[in-house]
Amino acid sequence: MHATAGPCRTEKGIVRLKFVVNPAGYPHGFRIIDSSGVRCLDDEIDNVLHLAEPYPYVAGWIPVTVKFAPRTSI
């Protein structure tokens, strides 16, 4: 993933979290288990979760690891 805004575009980090999907397939809440240590990356998680919706419904918490890499120009 690439962070989308501001100074975060040059940051890298890994966020471990878990989230819940409602029966309609949309994220209903999440908890960060291990922070990236970079606040703006942690703040991007809500946006990241919405990228792949709707999800298939799964009961309970779903663990996910998101790796952010700096955006590079070609």
User: What is the spatial distance between Cα 61 and Cα 5, in angstroms, rounded to a whole number?
Assistant: 28
Q: Is 6 exposed, middle or buried (0-12, 13-18, 19+ CB in 10 A)?
A: exposed
Which amino acid is it at 36?
S
- Confirm whether pTM is higher than 0.85: no
Contact 67/14 with Cβ under 8 angstroms? Answer: yes
Predicted confidence (pLDDT) at residue 2 exceeds the cutoff of 80: no
Query: CB within 8 A of 71, min separation 6: which ones?
Result: 2, 3, 9, 10
List pLDDT tens digits, range 10-59. 889 999 999 999 999 999 999 999 999 999 999 999 999 999 999 999 99
